[in-house]
Amino acid sequence: MTFMEKNIFAEIIAGKLPCQKVYESDDILAFYDIAPKAKTHILIIPKTEIITAQEVNEKNLAIFGKLFLAAKEIAKKLKMTGYKLHMNVGEDGGQVVPHLHLHFLSADYDGSQL
Ligand code: 5GP
């Protein structure tokens, strides 16, 4: 899996493709999933080039924490007291888009569709 010019999330970050934005900071963007697997289904992504969670290291560790900070802020914004976080890691882990992303899902997500 490689980070490509054509990576759909890279195009969203660059503003070349539209998204329904929920949260944005200097490092993070969050937007509604185009094919929701729960009543609320949001994708939280870093604006930097990280393909999978398997790339985590001492240098980029903070960006992983920022995904969770974004989830907290989104929950507050949407007044959700509980939610589910899901991450597919690598093609063999079911990851389709080669850009790190954390799925933020409402509690009706049953854990089987991603
Ligand atoms: P993965 O299977 O890689 O963990 O999840 C990729 C997610 O990205 C899927 O839930 C899919 O519906 C979503 N997705 C794919 N293309 C787009 C797009 O162009 N826009 C948005 N908002 N979501 C997308």
Q: How many CB atoms neighbour CB 66 within 10 A? A: 16
Ligand 1 atom nearest the C-alpha of 31 is: 22
Q: pLDDT digit string (tens) for 42-74?
A: 999 999 999 999 999 999 999 999 999 999 999
Q: Ligand 1: which of 20, 34, 101 to mutate, judged by most atoms within 8 Å of the beta carbon? A: 34
**Rounded-to-integer distance, Cα 112 and Cα 44, Å:** 19
Q: Write out the catalytic residue numbers.
A: 101
Residue 27 carries which side chain, given as an amino acid letter? D
Query: What does the pLDDT average to over 97-102?
Result: 96
CB 31 near ligand 1, within 6 Å: yes
Whether the predicted pLDDT of 100 surpasses 80:
yes
Which residues fall within 8 angstroms of residue 107, CB to CB, at 6 or more apart? 38, 82, 83, 84
pLDDT at 48: 94
pLDDT at 10: 93
Query: Which neighbouring-strand residues pair with 84?
Result: 105
Query: What does the pLDDT average to over 21-40?
Result: 98
pLDDT at 112: 86
**Rounded-to-integer distance, Cα 66 and Cα 44, Å:** 10
Q: pLDDT digit string (tens) for 66-98?
A: 999 999 999 999 999 999 999 999 999 999 999
pLDDT band for 113, please (50, 70, 90 cuts): confident
CB 100 within 8 A of CB 45: yes
Ligand 1 atom nearest the C-alpha of 97 is: 3
Number of H helices, E strands in the chain: 2, 5
CB 98 near ligand 1, within 6 Å: no
Name the DSSP letter for residue 85: E
pLDDT at 27: 97
Q: What is the Rg, in whole angstroms, of the alpha carbon atoms belonging to the chain?
A: 13
The helix/strand/coil state of 32 is strand
